[in-house]
Structure 1
């Protein structure tokens, strides 16, 4: 409008609410209008002096007011949501919407409520309502949440719990579920339930051998969700029935029972009154055998079935009585003269008891023998000599037979020895006795009695022994075989003569230089031919003959010890074994003397030929050119010098000697001792000796440089 300086717009609602706006242009905005109202607006032009009258009026209708949610209700049985709200001023229709978790659904109505069907399970949805006007729509209502019913749990499974014969059911949880109900229904329609807010639950008191249908139902705060698929579960097996005991009154008893279909194994348990127990098992049959049961005990026997590693409840118990305990204090006594054995034991304080004595010869294939008696002892007279027997005893009454006692072993008296024989020898004047081995004997004793009263004896654990006799006498000998507790009956005495007496006062003198033994003796009455014998400990024999009371024995082996004995032609000797008179031949001359020098320790070890039959000593002499001497004594074939002077040339000789004679010296051996030990390999050093400067290495030889050039060459090596 011309000359207008500005404009003012006034708007008034039917409820009297007024707002205005002004502008120098041809438009302005009316603020703070109330929703759902119709305003009448007029425009006034303002001039510099006057304002125009209001222009023609016009109606303005504002947007509807937003609805207010009155309720939201979820129908659990059909997954339906019922939403209601308050009427909104200015609204011609309404638009309700459910959205969340990728899901969206809505309804449009002119009423103040609507229903949305077929909602998915397990969703957290937002609910809003918007009023729709002729020109505009209201802002959405305040957001409210709506939760649908939980979805069915998945992967339901059940395992058997061995400890309390229950089932542990587990599953994958449902979103929005706050609780679960597990229901198991048996084939006989009985049920078990458990409730939990976790994803597992234990069903207790389930019936053995039953098959259950297991269902898990989730719950939200307001609804029961969709049940899971049915899971079929087999409860643990029932215990066996018809438990029975065979072989009562024995230490080994068999328990049997009726079969249970599906059993992996059976275990039978026997519990005694003192609570000790025994088990036996079977996986292929419906019986098993208890071993090592205690005698004289009452046992309560039950059987369990094993299924998936779990034991069933025990079966009904049956009572088992084991065999009576055997008699105690079993002892035996052997009558050595008659070879009878008496076995005795303690009495059992029960009426009408009989005892069973069982015995067998050890290491024999024959079966054991038994003897029944009402007494607490029994004597056996038919046992063999020289044998070892095992004895045990049991008893029985009208109902039961006890087990046998632990075996007791006894040896009968040894058998009488056989083939007893005597043999005598000259010189040593021994009586040598032999016999055949006697069964059961551990040692033997020979007793010898001479007609002049001389008594001697010998013992042996072998089949021979010897005694010293008086020469030229008649003797009798008896032989007895023995054990620790018994002697055999004596062997019949044997009679024999000792060896004849030999010439007396025998004297042997060694000639050390010729190694000849000069022997003399006392002559016997009459004229006789004599033989002097030298018998070495190694069996070497040499002799000389004479019609007088002396002769010389040659061909002796050096270093050997000889027994000397003299016989005559008037004496008849089958065996000449030697005598107590011993003489040593001249010592052997040491041969093949060699030396070994340890340079670092400056120790010299000499060795020479020597045999153990040479019972002689040796002296080793070491003599240096400067007169330094050293001696080493030994009875072996070697000797070591530890204190020889370094830088000296020694001559070594070895001499053998006995208590009477000395041998020739060995061939001399020379050896040069090394100088001081050096720390560096082949290091050279100097030593003043014998008026000149010497060069030494650890060596058996001595080398002297001849001139300065040689000294220089050696020092540069």
Structure 2
């Protein structure tokens, strides 16, 4: 039996007698091996454990061995029934062998117990910051002998410890504060033990969003942008974005930055982001920047010599609330005007002085540069008012006396210029002018029926003003042409052709002094009764005066008046046509008459008054004809009769017409 001490002696036995006992010798059997072995790992230190076993018999010494790195290694030796083991590797499982010995023998056997040390600290620990999500992911090398891991994160500034449990090799930490430095560790857990903490790794979270953004425009098309410093920021990036997509930026390590070369008159949206290594914060709240107004353009100047002022106008500018106009003379003297609208008037200017006019815009803080200068004022002003006095028409010529207001500075000369048309004919135009004169009036003759536009210019030294406001009018009309008389002394009609620019026509009895007006009309004919004079004249008139008188041709007949509409001769049934004569041009007349039934042609007789020649007779097929090449200033009397192959009808009542003067070529 193991673990037993035996006393051994020897006795000789004989057939009759036995010997006495020999000296007693003690014999100890091999020690017993323990049956109940317990191994407890020390979770508070690496490589330590306590192995205990039940008491055994026959053993004086005990030792524990295990295979370490392929070779058996004694872990401990003791004479007690427990053993403190040290120097073990972390995260290892050891198969224990137990050796019990005494003075007689030694007995080794593998125990039915394993020893697993506490886990090793996790290795290859790293942390990755997920930019923009306030999240960091901690990672490590995973081991198969670990049941789970516990990761911890804490700010260096103190505060709550964040923990995360994982059975894998990563652990996310969300909702991290911006602009903070976090320290991360991880421990491995297995069989109730945890490892020492891993090597500490740290990160700096993304910078906090910049706050309290302030944008101050500078007056050189730039802006100074400032903000409160952001925790965790190393650099800042400022962006100014225009409404048309243009982008301006600046970078800095401080809490302010200047942006330059912005466009004038623009609205910009400004924001800033903070950065640290590869992470940037969210953009700050937007701020609005309105740059100073652009230099005005489109400047025009209207000089008013009457009140010695100039009106400036220009194209409005965005962001402008005020405008300042300037007039600078050659001697450096400057005059100004101010307006909130794109026009203003500068007073107290000197006519004839050359000024450089310009304008600048302001937004209340910054001013634009002055616009490109516009020179004006060197030339004198034209007269403010031009008037005309009309003289009576003589030989179809009317003298016009023009006068104007004097320009208020010395040594000024004037020139009168007229342009227009004769008788409204676009092909008969005239362009007249006076000579330079220091007087404020001038007379120019114009033909009747002329439309004119009169302007006056002034000059001083070598400078000439612009033309004055045009005076547009007409002369009195020419005498009416195509004057015809039909009827008798009891009842007659005077007719005529229109005269260019005439608005009224007057028929006078010219046999009395002063001549007596018989009728006035705006039409082209007039009826007279009880005519006692053969000296009847007609004039055409308008607001410019009356034309010279034209005599009305009167033919007195002693024959009894006939009813042309019913008179028929006894032979053939042909009646007398009713005749109508119109003067279309100065020496051309249109003759028309009523159609006579059964007439095949007509005989037209033309007689020039005062001529001893026989009347000219023309055969006409139709009811009209045009007579040309008539003598100017002559009276022609015309008759017509109807004819056919069988007979001739009576002649019509004569119609006399005075041919006017031939127009100049």
Q: Same fold (TM over 0.5)?
A: no
Q: How does the TM-score come out when normalised to structure 1? A: 0.36
Q: How does the TM-score come out when normalised to structure 2? A: 0.38
Q: Larger RCO: Structure 1 or Structure 2 (Cα < 8 Å, ≥ 6 residues apart)?
A: 2
